[in-house]
Chain A
Amino acid sequence: MTLTSLTPDVAYDPTQDVHLQHYGLAEQLGRGTWLVLRQNLLVELEEFSAVVPMCALGLLVVLVMSLVVESGSPSQLSLAAGVLWGGMFLAGPVGLERQNSGPDVHATMTYLLLSPLPRASIYLGKWLFHCLLMFCTSGVSLIAVAAFLDAPVGQVWILVSVILGGMGFSAAGVVVSALTAAMKKNQGLLAVVALPLTLPLFLIGMSLCRTVWSGAPWQSFQHWLYLILLYNGLSLLGGIWATEHVWREWQ
Chain B
Amino acid sequence: MSADPLTLGAPLLEVRGLSKSYGYRQILRGVNLSLKIGECVALKGENGAGKSTLLRILAGLSQEEAGQIFWRCQELNFRQNYVRSQIGFLGHAPALHGALNLEQHLGLAARLHGIMDPEGRVRSLIHSAGMETLASRPVREFSRGMQQRGALCRLWLPDPRLLLLDEPDAHLDDKGLTFLESLIAQRRAAHQAILLVTHRQDLISRWADRTLLLRQGAIHITSAASE
Contact = CB atoms under 8 A, between A and B. Distances in A.
Interface in A36-88: 38-39, 42-43, 46-47
Interface string A93-131: 000000000011101101111111110000000000000
Nearest to B111: A35
A28 interface: yes
B32 to A, nearest CB: 13
Contact of B81 (A2, A4, A28): A28
A20 interface: yes
Given A39-B108, A46-B138, A110 B8 contact: no
B73 A23 contact: no
A17 to B, nearest CB: 7
Given A18-B121, A115-B84, A9 B7 contact: yes
Interface in B176-217: 190-191
A21 B116 contact: yes
Contacts of B93: 103, 107, 110
Interface residues of A, number: 49
A43 B112 CA distance: 17
Contact of A42 (B1, B100, B114, B116): B100
Contact of A19 (B1, B14, B89, B95): B1
Given A32-B112, A114-B89, A249-B63, A22 B97 contact: no
Interface residues of B, number: 54
A2 B73 contact: yes
A117 B95 contact: no
Contacts of B63: 248-249
B146 to A, nearest CB: 15
A9 B84 contact: no
A8 interface: yes
Given A4-B73, A35-B108, A114-B89, A105 B158 contact: no
Interface in B1-59: 1, 3-4, 6-11, 14, 56, 59
A22 B114 contact: yes
A26 interface: no
A4 B114 CA distance: 32
Contact of A116 (B70, B85, B191): B85
Interface in B89-127: 89, 91, 93-100, 104, 108-109, 111-117, 121
A101 to B, nearest CB: 13
B74 interface: yes
B157 to A, nearest CB: 8
A97 B107 CA distance: 26
Most buried by B among A2, A18, A38: A18
Contact of B1 (A16, A104, A250): A16
B222 interface: no
A180 to B, nearest CB: 18
A2 B121 CA distance: 35
B26 to A, nearest CB: 16
A28 B158 CA distance: 16
B61 A114 contact: yes
Interface of B: 1, 3-4, 6-11, 14, 56, 59-63, 68, 70, 73-75, 81-85, 89, 91, 93-100, 104, 108-109, 111-117, 121, 138, 154, 157-159, 190-191
Interface of A: 1-4, 6-23, 28, 31-32, 35, 38-39, 42-43, 46-47, 103-105, 107-108, 110-118, 248-250
26 contacts: A1-B68, A7-B10, A8-B8, A8-B10, A9-B7, A10-B7, A14-B190, A16-B1, A17-B159, A18-B121, A19-B1, A19-B116, A20-B114, A20-B158, A21-B114, A23-B114, A46-B138, A107-B96, A110-B91, A114-B89, A115-B109, A116-B83, A118-B81, A249-B63, A250-B56, A250-B62
Given A46-B138, A117-B112, 15 more contacts: A3-B70, A6-B11, A9-B7, A9-B8, A12-B7, A14-B4, A22-B82, A43-B100, A46-B100, A104-B98, A111-B96, A112-B112, A113-B60, A114-B61, A117-B81
Sorted from nearest, which 7 A-B pairs have the closest CB atoms? A8-B10, A8-B7, A116-B85, A18-B159, A116-B81, A21-B114, A3-B73
